[in-house]
Every structure is written in structure tokens, then in C-alpha cells.
Amino acid sequence: MNIREISEQIEQDTLSQYSSKSCNSKGRKFPEIKCDVRTEYQRDRDRIIHSKAFRRLKHKTQVFLSPEGDHYRTRLTHTLEVAQISRTIARALRLNEDLTEAISLGHDLGHTPFGHCGEVVLNRIHRGGFKHNEQSLKVVEKLEKRGYKEGGLNLTYEVKDGILNHTGETVPSTLEGQIVKLSDRIAYINHDIDDAIRAKVLNIDSLPKDCTDVLGCTHGDRINTMIKDVIKESSNKNSITMSNEVYYCTKKLRGFMFEKVYLNKEAKKEEDKAQNIVFQLYNYFCENPNKLPQEIYNAIINPEEVEENVKDYIAGMSDRYAINKYLELFVPKFWV
């Protein structure tokens, strides 16, 4: 037996009956020779980590645009926190940690620059609308290249399913994907509270008392309570859930964050500028597709593809790349 086969046997011997074993994966769109060392889900995790889209997450906004402090979250640190929470839950439930990690690391690859405000603009102006989960799937299926003419990163079905269904009303087909869906919410609610307190948009005493009484008053206590509750409620079950009490408090905190932070004019005072950048870039490149990067322009076969390619190009931008491109196109340079 090679190392991969030994790992697959360990999964069979130790993981829960409800887990997704890598040897039982529905596979890849384009069949490949299996690795001697890594399982299928380990390979997916590695492909995501080494992708350009993953590296760009470090310069994409989570909530606060262009923060000067070093300790505010970015889309990359959010992704890493989701992966940590997901693996903790998966290990406790004896589910497949490698699968949860791969889904976690890939779930936001399609996010726009400037966080959700960039997503809102593209969804409004792009003919086909825009959802970051669908764009994340497109990134791993088509936009990232890995030696295939087609197929992108050629990830397994289970990882792509978890990425697509990590948000919205749909439910991932694996328990590992369901873990990521809950972990994403656990992560962003709590780290966004932390960042909002750092930015003096919130203070700790303003959080709903009935929620802090149940979940805890500190960042660590709240996350710990939520994780332990998910583990307790999901143990030996074929679904990933929270107790009614913790779910109620989590949902109420999320609503509180929308009211006080996500839609707060002071916290989001730069968003109008960011939305204008996305709007202007989209219109400019739709009207001037020959100004797109050469490899993108050359791939356009007919005029109907222009808007879709422009959308992909802008969604892939980091905040600073979008700002610099805007300055290059719309702000005059002065002679020196």
C-alpha cells in the first residue's frame, strides 16, 4: 500500500459513518491518475492554496474598506478562520477534515473587491446578476488554469458542491459542506464584531444582552459556545445543526450587525466611492473590450461574451488593483 492508500484506510477505520471518505468521492470532471501520497481532498486543498485567486484574497476587503490598522480582517484571514472553525468541528464529529478545509479555503475565491458592496454593484449592473458563491465555483472550474484546456483546477464534486452551496438556501450534499456553511457564519459574525469594536463603531456593552448571556461576552467565548453547541447538536446525526437557543442568539446577533455595522453609514462611509469604482470599470471595459488584458480579450469569441468576461475580470481584482486601474483610466497624470 502507498501512503495515500494507508490514509484512505485510516479514514475507513476511524471516521464516522456519516463522513465523506475520499476513496468514495464522486470524482473529477476530467479523470486523473491518483497521487501516491495525498488523498483526493488533500490534493484539492493544495490546488486551492497554490492558486492565484487564493493569494489575491489578502488584498480584498472583509468589512472595513482600506483599513489603516494591521489587525483588521481581510477576505484571506476570514477564510483561514472559517477553515480553523470547520476543522475543529469536523474533527470532533469524526468527519473529513481535509474536505472541510478544502471547501473552506475555496468558498470565497470569487468574491469581488471591496467586499459585499462590490458584489452588490455587479449584481445590479451585470446582465446575468452576480453571486459570489457562483463566481467562486466558476473560478475553480474555469478561470484558474492548471495545465488543462478546460476544467480549471479540476476539483472533486464534493469540494465544488460545498463551495457553491456555502451560502443561500441550498444545503451542501455532504456534512463537511454543511459544517463550512455554519462555520462561515460563526466566523464572520464574531470577527466582524471584533473589528467593529476596534473601529469604535460598536462597544462591547452595545451587544444584545440576551445574546451575550447565552453566547458569552468575549470573542473567544462566543465562538467557543457556538462550536461546542454545533458539536453537541450534530453528534451521531446526519445533519449539522445548532440548538434552538444558540441558533436564535446567532441569528439575532447577525441582524444586529446588519443594523449597526453592515448598513451603518459611518462604518461604510467609503462604500459609495468603492461602488463607483466598480461601476465605472465595468462600463469602461464593456465599451472598450480591446483594453482588457490581452489574454482575456483574445479569448472573446463573440460580442455576447464581452460582459461576462468583464465581470470575471473585475470580480478577480483586489481592492488596490481596482483602485490603481481606476486611477490609470480616469485620473489625469501630471507632468513632473
Q: Are residues 198 and 254 in the same domain?
A: yes
Give the structural domain span for 282: 271-330
Higher-confidence residue of 147 and 312: namely 312
Q: Which of 209, 243, 262 is the last residue of a domain?
A: 262
> For residue 24, what pLDDT is reported?
98
The pTM of this model reads: 0.96
The reported pLDDT for the residue numbered 42 is 98
Between 43 and 201, name the one with better pLDDT: 43
Distance CA 1, CA 267 (A): 56
pLDDT (mean) for 192-199? 92
35 and 64, same domain (yes or no): yes
Of the given ranges (107-121, 136-150, 246-260), which has the lowest mean pLDDT?
136-150
Residue 95 pLDDT greater than 80, yes or no:
yes
Mean pLDDT confidence for 274-278: 95
- Same domain, residue pair 278 and 161: no
163 and 281 fall within a common domain: no
**What pLDDT does 264 receive?**
75
| 108 and 168 within one domain | yes
φ, ψ (nearest 5 deg) of residue 21: -80, 140
End-to-end CA distance of the chain: 68
pLDDT on residue 242:
98
E strand spans, the chain? none
- Determine, yes or no, domain membership for 194: yes
Quick one: pLDDT at residue 284?
A: 98
Q: What is the tens place of the pLDDT at every residue in 105-142?
A: 999 999 999 988 999 999 999 999 999 999 999 999 99
Confidence category of residue 45, pLDDT binned at 50, 70, 90: very high
Mean pLDDT of 199-227: 95
Total structural domains within the chain: 2
Going by pLDDT thresholds of 50, 70 and 90, the confidence category of residue 148 is low
Is there a single domain that holds both residue 322 and residue 293? yes
Q: What's the pLDDT at 65?
A: 75
| pLDDT for the residue 7 | 98
User: Average pLDDT of the chain?
Assistant: 94
pLDDT at residue 37 in the model: 98
- Tell me: do 151 and 294 sit in the same domain: no
Do the Cβ atoms of 38 and 25 come closer than 8 Å?
no
Percent of the chain with pLDDT strictly greater than 70: 96
Asked if residue 22 is part of any domain, the answer here is no
User: Among the three residues 232, 262, 292, which one is the final residue of a domain in this structure?
Assistant: 262
Give the span between the Cα atoms of 136 and 138, in whole angstroms.
5
Mean local confidence (pLDDT), 12-27: 98
Q: Which three cell numbers stand for residue 82?
A: 472559517
Tell me which amino acid residue 86 is: S
**What's the confidence (pLDDT) of residue 83?**
98
Rounded CA separation 130/112 (Å): 10
Short-list 102, 85, 89, 92, CA closest to 40: 102
Specify if 25 maps to a domain.
no
Q: What percent of the chain has pLDDT over 90?
A: 84
251 and 197 within one domain: yes
pLDDT of residue 68: 64
From residue 106, give the alpha-carbon distance in Å to each of 49, 75, 102, 140, 150. Answer: 8, 11, 6, 8, 19
